[in-house]
Amino acid sequence: MTRSAADIFHGARELPADQREAYLTGACGKDVALRSKVEALLKADAEAGSFLGSPAADEGAHSQEQAGAQIGRYKLLEQIGEGGMGTIWMAEQREPVKRRVALKIIKLGMDTKQVIARFEAERQALAMMDHPHIAKVLDAGATETGRPYFVMEYIKGIPILEFCDQQKIDTRARLELFTKVCHAIQHAHQKGIIHRDIKPSNVLVTLHDGVPVPKVIDFGIAKATSSELTSKTLFTEHRQMVGTPAYMSPEQAEMSGLDIDTRSDIYSLGVLLYELLTGTTPFDIKALLESGFSEMLRAIREDEPHKPSTRISSLGDTGTRTALQRSVDAKKLSTLLRGDVDWIVMKCLEKDRSRRYETANGLAADILRHLNDEPVLAGAPSAGYKLRKFVRRNRGQVLAGSAVVTALLVGVVAFAWMAKVAGEQRDRAESARAAEFAQRQLAEAARGEAEQQRALALEQAAEAARQETQARKHEREAQNQAAIAEAVAKFQTDMLAAVDPDQLPRDPLTGEPLKDRVTVVHALESAVKLLDAGSLAEQPLVEAKVRATIGATFQALARFDEAEHNLRKTLEIRRAASPVDERLVADAMDSLAMLLWQRGENDESEALMSAALEIYRRVLPAGQIDIANAMDNMAKPLVGKNKLTLAEPLLRESLALRRAILPASDTRLAHGLNGLGHLLSLQERPADAEPLYREALAINRTARPAGHPELANSINNLAACLKAQRKFEEADLLFREALAIKRATLTGDHPRLALGLNNLASSLQEQGRIAEAEPLFRDALAVWRAALPGGHQHMAMCMMNLAQGLAARGELDQASALYDEALEMCRRILPSGHPVTVQILGEYGSLQQTRGEFVDAHALQRELVELHRARADVASPEYTNNLNNLGLIELELGRTEEAAALFREALQIQRDTLRADHNDTHAVLVNLVHALRALGRKEECVSVLQDALANRRSALPAEHAQLAETIATLAFVLVEFGRLDEAEPLLHEALTLERSNGSTGSTARDVLAHLALVARARGRLDEAESLFGEWAQLQRAASQHARFSDARFYNEFALLQWERGQLAQAEALLRAALAVQRATLPAPDTNLANVLGNLGAVVLEQGRLADAEPLVVEALALKRTLLARFDPSLLNSVENLISIYANQGKSAQAASLVMELVAATRAASPEPSVERAAQLAALGTALIEMKAWADAEGVLREVLATREALQPDVWTTFNSRSQLGGILMAQGKLDEAHSPLLDGYRGMKAREASIPTQGATRIPEALERLVAFYEANGAPEEAARWRGELEAARARGAKSDDEKQR
Amino acid sequence: MRSHVDPEPSDATRLLLAAADGDKQAADQLLPLVYEQLRKAAQLDLAGEAHAQTLSATALVHEAYLKLVGPRDVPWANRRHFYSAAAEAMRRILVDHARKRGRRGGPTLALSEVRDVATLASADSERILAVDEALGRLEQEDPQAAALVRLRFYAGLGVDEAAQALGMSPRTAARLWTYARAVLFRDLSDRS
């Protein structure tokens, strides 16, 4: 076989020529053909030469470079790699030590002597390298074929990029790993070794005890082979090893080959870092190569690559996701400041190497600074920037919304600097102004109402800082920056030094205070202590200003008590100052008012703001933007108190002022437009808000650079406003645009990106496009989860949105799980009773309610009720809905009393808060009535309805449509309670109202049906029929909306027709009733059984036995499962069925049915009782009618025994005796029959007065039996006498029937 | 704010990705595209005597690959389809090249000097066609070995890359390569 020929071939090939013969003989045996084939192959192999590949390029497959081959002191073991330069082998060294090494054999084509000479020149330096992250180069030499080779420490690792991707290493860990690489390179540089070929495949990573350890390989090799890097060889090279030029520094791209220093390695490190972070190299190799080799070199020398953050966002969805997964996903380095990383990488990639990091350690140090939230050197060391880092570093357990904190701290420190350096040096005054500018911007942000606006302001400030930095090129600016930085650093130190170590969290093991857990709060608390101790007592106005800033910071940290303390102090100091600077007082009032507004203290806030506004109007020249801002602030507590109509003129005036003093394209005008637009939206006037939002957006589109966050915000406002007007098409376009901006400008893990996704998804979901919304919600959640692992109210809202969508498409378990998570989050992060919590509780409660999880739903709604009560928020529609829902759950749980109380409470609140014609009022009323009916509290039920009606009558005009529903409800209840006289005029009134309103809805139909019921009960059958007729007509028209209660009226109508002998109509109506029931009832109930029984009876009465049978059988079966054993209705069906069987000659079947029921009765009540006797007696009677005498005798004897023992003096006992006599007689036992017949009759006769109407036929029946007995006994005289008695009795019965008829 | 947009994937990339998903049709459609690229490259480079020595099939194929796909991070599973197609295209280029030239042809080259595609291309037509036919026979006998030769010889892949493409260890590939080479050499020696 071929395979074995191949195997033998290989076997032989590995042996020295002199051993082959023996081997072949053994392997091929007598197979001559096989042997000659193998021999031919061996010969061909020996002769093939360069066939299909020169030996040099024929890696490993040829002569010397085979496993087992000896090269110098090294024995090749296994080929472990192959690259453009050659092959890499794992080899074994035996002398002087036995160890594994890696052998890199360079391809032919190089001047081996030169290569080795260059290597030797650097050999000593190489030998001096001793670093854990460097693979040592041990040796170099030439193979027998003259190819150079290098011997290195053997590393069992994989290239760094592969490693990071495989292990899904997050950005932070990548950066940390990368710093180790930097240290390795630094070490080499210190020994005078430049690597020259740093690239991912030259940085291998191994795991030591789970810790990734990088090893840089190939030191010295590039240098040794470098003179070969001419354009021609590189050309060939790059084509074979795509990617290498990507790591090449611009000076390497100069191709001079001479001017290379350590900073080339820094550049390559930058490229490596770039790729680690973004998954791509800075230059688009494809584009470069398409335009040619020289173009590629030119680009490397001249083009500015995209910043890593820009690259990530430009990679599109897939790219972003990949990047996310590589860098951020697993870890919560959520607020990774993209500025830092960009700056660091771009500093490495500077074309001018003097602007790169001087050393690899410098690069590593900057990365570590970034990781520790310290300012990096790479970026612009503006005051704002450094302080931002300060806050982040000291964030500790502070808030998720650190952006705000950051913004405010800039203010703190910038001011502190001012306080310290004021008057020191005049040329620093400019810096002070710059700092104050930043402070003002940020203070403005602090006053902003929404978190988003603050974040926005921060971005503006940061952006401004960045631009500012770029602008500052000249020397003096640099000096200023240095001064700021110095002051800032000093203050940081002071503030941190002042932190009381006792207040720091302690290491649980050592008990040492954890310095790195110093938080902003600690720092601020220390600052306040300094102030309270009088550190600035001689400079009260300075103290006021410091306190103002500290107060604002505490406010942002949601430490409202501390904030208030400091802001009040500020105001106090400024008021006491002499002379009073009114402007400063107004500023302090303004700040305090905004804090109080945020705390919900709207009254005081309004008063302060009103005073502040008065001052501003007085002291500021007219037409100042500050006045407009103050008016906006004044509007806030008013909005907080829901005095929207008072807020509106203020916002309008503010807007008018802005229009008057600002150019039409000023973004501050857009701000005013958005403010008023927001108010109008709150007033649910989106149509009025729309033009304002549009104008604001137009301004932002011109004034803001594409992709500015404020532009996205403005787009979002308009979109939301359009969505509120259900103008979904345009809304969606805008939501998408806002989202696109966010995608392009924000990191993939930015919360505002999540918000954008959520907004678009909400709009889609509101249009019912649930399937489209769902993935967006999920994306949004994923972003949030990565960005804010602690949770956020927006995230909870998003979960709720998604849960609603899931619930809508029936994924109830998933929806529940999300609600659970959202609720848990709310409880953890939001103050008790937060509106978001309330909303989620309500939604979740409703879901559990619809799912029938009443116990869960109860807990949720109960909690919600408590929340509302705790917040004294008991006038809201949400609260009454909540009460109502809880009431419905209590009903389901059988706690009707509790339900009634809840409905009552809800109704009372609604009566105080809602307009009388509000639909919710009626719904709650109906629920209350339902509960009271269930409780049997008829009077209360009627009086509640009468109250409600009186209430509506007094509030609504007489012809108001909604009066009808209340009137009708009252009337229905009255009909139900048999108070027909009171009901009838109300029904007529309701009908008139409904007719005048042209209504044919369910109320109109129910009113007609009830009128028909009343007419029928009053014996006005024609009227009843015509009313029912009208009802049935409306009913047919509304058949789509049939409710199961409609079946009841069909049934009543049918019974009326039946009474009137209209059997066919009755049947049709009953069939209609049945259809409604089958369509609407979740499970068969007694109503269905009754309708079936009635239908069976009507069909039977028309003589269609076969049609009737299945109906009656089904009815009986249902009744037997649903009813108490001897409900008369069950007996009706039994009788009907017996009648059917009897007529079909199936008497045995009928008898066995009855006996089955007898057995069931005995089993159901094992002890003899009056009740059981009555049930058995009824069955006995049926057996008598069927002439099943033997069975009847047994049953009757049992009945009689019970009755004689328990009720010897009741007429039914004697009836049973008479019946037993009849049975005995029928069986020919005449002797035995006589006495029971006679006694039975006499007993009944003596108790005739106590016999109810239904039993009226029993005496004549007893007499019939006596007549028959005497006739059978041959006693005609006696028989005649009893016949006389019989006729008299019948006459009496007929007479009493007549009386009843009248 | 600048926003960098990557161009839409080229037809070849799209097909490549589809082919990687096992879309046979896509693989078939891919071939002409690759062929066209390589044909252009081959015309340019094979025609120039001066370059013929320095430009290897590897360079050509990588060049074509870059032009088609770019240096994006296409998984190896995908590139494998590309290289298979590229090898096939290169083989056809040579065969078409030889048929067009007819019996005329370049210098007669010793079999042991047929180092790579470029040297083969410069060889006489008969040699080119003979190599192709021998490869066809090897295919009958051992398809794996033939596939390896295609990838190594026509697409210029290294042993490692070819091994990965064929899902075998480099060691196995190296052995198979030695064997296939001997088989082909014997076959061609016997017939010439």
Q: For residue A162, what is the domain's CATH number?
A: 1.10.510.10
CA distances from B38 to A785, A966, B72, B154 (A): 48, 87, 20, 11
Higher pLDDT, A835 or A1242: A1242
Interface test mutation site (partner A, options B159, B171, B184, max chain A beta carbons within 10 A):
B159
A86 and A209 in a single domain? The answer is no
Arithmetic mean of pLDDT over chain A: 76
pLDDT band at A556 (very low <50, low <70, confident <90, very high): low
Taking CB atoms and an 8 Å cutoff, what residues of chain A touch B73?
Answer: 279-280
Rounded Cα gap, residues A1245 and A1031, in angstroms:
49
A191 and A340 in a single domain? The answer is yes
- Nearest-by-CA chain A residue for B151: A52
Of A336-340, A1000-1004, A1172-1176, give the range with the top mean pLDDT. A1172-1176
Q: Domain for residue B3, yes or no?
A: no
Q: Are B59 and A79 within 8 A, CB to CB?
A: no
Q: A540 Cβ partners below 8 Å, 6+ apart? A: A573, A576, A577
Q: A1225 Cβ partners below 8 Å, 6+ apart? A: A1233, A1237, A1265, A1268, A1269, A1272
Domain boundary among A310, A345, A379: A379
Rounded Cα gap, residues A34 and A27, in angstroms:
10
Q: Domain for residue A251, yes or no?
A: yes
CA A100 to the chain's CA centroid: 55
Query: Has residue B155 got a pLDDT over 70?
Result: yes
- Nearest CA to A898 out of A865, A871, A931, A945 is that of A931
Rounded Cα gap, residues B26 and A682, in angstroms:
56
Nearest by CB to B115, from A54, A59, A62: name it: A54
Q: Domain for residue A899, yes or no?
A: no
A22 and A73 in a single domain? The answer is no
Domain boundary among A547, A580, A613: A580
Percent with pLDDT over 90 in chain A: 18
pTM value surpassing 0.90: no
Backbone angles phi, psi at A87, to 5 degrees: -120, 155
Each residue's pLDDT tens digit, A13-24: 877 777 788 888
Taking CB atoms and an 8 Å cutoff, what residues of chain A touch B82?
Answer: none
Give the number of A-B residue pairs with CB atoms closer than 8 Å. Answer: 154
Nearest by CB to B114, from A13, A51, A286: name it: A51
Angle (deg, nearest 10), helices A938-955 and A919-934: 170
Nearest by CB to A49, from B1, B113, B159: name it: B113
Q: Domain for residue A766, yes or no?
A: no
Q: Are B179 and A9 within 8 A, CB to CB?
A: yes
CA distances from A31 to A14, A24, A36, A93, A1216 (A): 21, 10, 9, 42, 113
A349 and A230 in a single domain? The answer is yes
In chain A, the number of structural domains is 5
- Nearest-by-CA chain B residue for A279: B73
Q: Domain for residue A977, yes or no?
A: no
Taking CB atoms and an 8 Å cutoff, what residues of chain A touch B59?
Answer: 236, 239-240
Q: What CATH number is associated with residue A74?
A: 3.30.200.20
For range A760-787, the mean pLDDT? 89
Nearest by CB to A47, from B149, B161, B185: name it: B185
A213 and A331 in a single domain? The answer is yes
Q: Domain for residue A395, yes or no?
A: yes
Q: Are B183 and A41 within 8 A, CB to CB?
A: yes
Q: Are B185 and A242 within 8 A, CB to CB?
A: no
pLDDT band at A111 (very low <50, low <70, confident <90, very high): low
Q: Domain for residue A1225, yes or no?
A: no
A98 and A15 in a single domain? The answer is no
Taking CB atoms and an 8 Å cutoff, what residues of chain A touch B72?
Answer: 286
Q: Are B66 and A285 within 8 A, CB to CB?
A: yes
Q: Domain for residue B1, yes or no?
A: no
Interface test mutation site (partner A, options B37, B68, B179, max chain A beta carbons within 10 A):
B179
Each residue's pLDDT tens digit, A334-345: 344 356 788 888
Q: Are A44 and B67 within 8 A, CB to CB?
A: no
A430 and A351 in a single domain? The answer is no
CA A738 to the chain's CA centroid: 21
Q: What CATH number is associated with residue A721?
A: 1.25.40.10
Q: How far is A263 from chain B (nearest CA, A)?
A: 26
Q: Are B182 and A310 within 8 A, CB to CB?
A: no
Rounded Cα gap, residues A708 and A713, in angstroms:
9
Q: Which residues pair with A74 in a beta bridge?
A: A71, A93
Q: Domain for residue B133, yes or no?
A: yes
Taking CB atoms and an 8 Å cutoff, what residues of chain A touch B183?
Answer: 41, 44
pLDDT band at A751 (very low <50, low <70, confident <90, very high): confident
Q: Which amino acid is at A845?
A: G
Q: Are A313 and B3 within 8 A, CB to CB?
A: yes
Range of the domain at A244: 156-379
A279 and A182 in a single domain? The answer is yes
Q: Are A59 and B114 within 8 A, CB to CB?
A: no
Q: Are A243 and B71 within 8 A, CB to CB?
A: yes
pLDDT band at A907 (very low <50, low <70, confident <90, very high): confident
Taking CB atoms and an 8 Å cutoff, what residues of chain B touch A49?
Answer: 110, 112-113
A418 and A388 in a single domain? The answer is yes
Q: Are A311 and B72 within 8 A, CB to CB?
A: no
Q: Domain for residue B106, yes or no?
A: yes
| Residue A511 backbone class (left: φ over 0; alpha: ψ -120 to 50; beta: rest) | left
In chain B, the number of structural domains is 1
A453 and A530 in a single domain? The answer is yes
Q: Are B189 and A705 within 8 A, CB to CB?
A: no
Interface test mutation site (partner B, options A10, A78, A166, A239, max chain B beta carbons within 10 A):
A239
Domain boundary among A726, A745, A764: A745
Rounded Cα gap, residues A965 and A467, in angstroms:
68
Q: Domain for residue B4, yes or no?
A: no
Each residue's pLDDT tens digit, B38-48: 555 555 444 43
Taking CB atoms and an 8 Å cutoff, what residues of chain A touch B114?
Answer: 50-52
Q: A1061 Cβ partners below 8 Å, 6+ apart? A: none
Each residue's pLDDT tens digit, A206-254: 888 778 889 998 887 766 665 433 333 333 333 333 335 778 888 777 6
Q: Domain for residue A575, yes or no?
A: yes
Q: Domain for residue B6, yes or no?
A: no
The string of DSSP letters for A983-1043 reads HHHHHHHHHHHHHHTT--SHHHHHHHHHHHHHHHHTT-HHHHHHHHHHHHHHHHHTGGG--
Position of tokens 């990774």? A336
Q: Domain for residue A1138, yes or no?
A: no
Q: Are B181 and A61 within 8 A, CB to CB?
A: yes
A205 and A270 in a single domain? The answer is yes
Range of the domain at B168: 11-191
The string of DSSP letters for A1169-1183 reads -HHHHHHHHHHHHHH
Rounded Cα gap, residues A318 and A323, in angstroms:
8
Taking CB atoms and an 8 Å cutoff, what residues of chain B touch A311?
Answer: 4
Q: What is the pLDDT of residue B109?
A: 67
pLDDT band at A486 (very low <50, low <70, confident <90, very high): very low
